[in-house]
Amino acid sequence: MINLMKLIVGLWNPGDKYLNTRHNIWFVTIDQFVKSNQIGDFSYDNKYGWEIISPLNPPFEWGLSSVSEKVVFLKPMEYMNKSGAAVQKIMNFYKIEANDLLVIHDDIDLATGVVKMKEWWWLAGHNGLKDIAEKIWTKDFSRIRIWVDRPSYPPQDVADYVLWNLKKDEIDTIQDRYLDIDRMVLEFISI
């Protein structure tokens, strides 16, 4: 039997005022994945200031075919553009390779309703991805890119736009695409 370790990270901005913003679009999906697959509950780590589900606390194991998968789910409690330090610490602690890292994030270059899985994709000006790539010395990791679209009319600053709250129809669209996201995460875990 092969034992592998995967890391799944959701990028976000902490705090109630950012909870339902476009930047935090992944937040709903990673929590829903953990809940619907009965993985456990995130616990807050006072020492490092992140929320985590790891094989050490609580213990769990994926039994997918002949591969026993251990998965760490991480929510850095830093602002998105400072997520790299937490990712680096977890990867070093568990000896996780970059090809076993999946980052779930917002993407303004995707149209409404689009969700894409990408491996070793360019950073597209995303500050959270840039910080991770700088800290782990590579951009060769997988991502699930979730649409937030670009501001259309009137012209807006992108930084302001991604911090606006999602509209109800946008939240509904996320829910409609959840099974696609769930499938992508499970496929990544089983690779």
Residue with tokens 């553009």: 81
List residues bridging with 68 in a β-sheet. Answer: 3, 63
Kindly report the pTM of this predicted structure: 0.83
Which residues of the chain fall below pLDDT 70? 1-3, 25-28, 55-69, 120-125, 148-156, 158-159
Enclosing domain of residue 93: 2-190
CB 146, CB 29: distance < 8 Å:
yes
The enclosing domain of 65 has a CATH number of: 3.40.50.1470
Using the Cα atoms of residue 114, residue 177, residue 83 and residue 69 in order, give the sign of their dihedral: negative
Catalytic annotation, pick one of 6, 23, 105, 143: 23
* Distance (Å, whole) CA 100 – CA 189: 8
Number of domains the chain is built from: 1
Per-residue pLDDT reduced to its tens digit, 56-65: 654 455 544 4
Is 23 one of the annotated active-site residues of the chain? yes
Per-residue pLDDT reduced to its tens digit, 90-103: 999 989 999 999 99
Per-residue pLDDT reduced to its tens digit, 64-83: 443 446 889 998 888 888 99
What would the DSSP string read from start to end of 53-106? E-SSSS---EEETTEEEEEEEEEE-S-GGG-HHHHHHHHHHHT--GGGEEEEEE
